[in-house]
Amino acid sequence: MPPEETHTLSTPRLNIIGCGRAAGSLARLWLASDAVEIGDVLNRSLPSSKRAVREIGAGKAARTIAGMQSAECWLIGTGDDQIEAVAATMREARPDLRGALVFHLAGRFGLEPLAPLAGQGTCLAALHPVRSLTHEQLALDDFAGTACVAEGAEPALDRLEPLVRAIRGLWLPVRGIDRGLYHAAVSIVSNVTKGVAWKAQKWLEHAGLSESTSTAVTQQLLASTVEDLARSGARHSITGPVVRGDTRTIEAHLRALQSAYPSDVDVYRILARTVLELAQERGDLDEDTLRRFAGLLGGRPG
């Protein structure tokens, strides 16, 4: 059997285990920026691995972790709950990973699922690009400025940082953060915002707007909201009836929802209480107005 090939060029080789949308998107960006050479790609099945290689436009489909060539960088792009099992298999199947960078993309975890590889001389890191990576044609211009939260020891971060900067990501190293609270926060901004937009469109359609018009209205509001956030931040840019102390308008909202979408009344109250909490922190409302809102929304922020 010929000796295993060793990659010695200045451009690091990247092997990928679990090449779904997120890992595939990053692989294409790194390839486009000449930041890496795509090595071996391993998915659950050989057809899936071959399909991922075609979509990336480079690499070689692998059958097993043991059969993958050596590489300077290893990306575990599997589902969150499979990362630790993959790391354990890597330890058994790849006894010499000394000096290699091994990282995952799960915002939910730091280094803990990579624990099987600890003490092996391997550089371990967690990288979480804070954006949706589902667009197949994601380009470098699209990714530019994306917050990339990274955790790991200095040698691992030193290896990972050039990869992030090569695709114009915003490098944000962290240490020892509360991952549960962190992931809840970024999920609510991204996923819940989309869910709220969908629900708002349903309300607009029920109010009499066409589907295309309700979509246009919602998207325009979201676009202007993002501009406000970028310009002034949430605390300084928020407006509306809650901030103005307009309890009569909130009463009208609740009556309309009770008639058209009674099951959504609690959703509205929860979201309105969040705005009320911000208004209270900002000092916009007097005690009497806060008491009136408490009666309408079922509580008062602490």
Q: Report the pLDDT value the prediction gives residue 2, as an integer from 0 to 100.
A: 43
State the pLDDT confidence band at 53, using cuts at 50, 70 and 90.
very high
Q: Report the pLDDT value the prediction gives residue 301, as an integer from 0 to 100.
A: 47
Query: 188-237 pLDDT, tens per residue?
Result: 888 899 999 999 999 999 999 999 999 999 999 999 999 999 899 999 99
Provide the 3-class DSSP secondary structure of residue 169: coil
% of residues, the chain, pLDDT over 70 = 95
| Residue in 163, 113, 157, 147 with CA at minimum distance from that of residue 12 | 163
Question: Is residue 159 within 8 Å of residue 101, measured between CB atoms?
Answer: yes
Q: Report the pLDDT value the prediction gives residue 299, as an integer from 0 to 100.
A: 63
Query: 247-289 pLDDT, tens per residue?
Result: 999 999 999 999 999 999 999 999 999 999 999 999 989 999 9
Domains (ranges, CATH) in the chain?
13-177 (3.40.50.720), 181-297 (1.10.1040)
Burial grade of 200 (CB within 10 A; 0-12, 13-18, 19 or more): middle
Q: At residue 230, what is the residue type?
A: A
Q: What is the 3-state secondary structure (H, E, C) of 78-134?
A: CCHHHHHHHHHHHHHHCCCCCCCEEEECCCCCCCHHHHHHCCCCCEEEEEEECCCCC
Query: Exposed e or buried b for every residue in 92-128, given b needs 16+ CB within 10 A?
Result: eebeebeebbbbbbbbbbbbebbebbeebebbbbbbb
Q: Report the pLDDT value the prediction gives residue 18, as an integer from 0 to 100.
A: 97
Contacts of 283 (CB under 8 A, 6+ apart): none
Q: Report the pLDDT value the prediction gives residue 133, as an integer from 0 to 100.
A: 80
Q: Report the pLDDT value the prediction gives residue 140, as an integer from 0 to 100.
A: 84
Q: Report the pLDDT value the prediction gives residue 4, as an integer from 0 to 100.
A: 43
Query: 130-188 pLDDT, tens per residue?
Result: 988 865 677 888 899 999 999 999 999 999 999 999 999 999 999 999 999 999 999 88
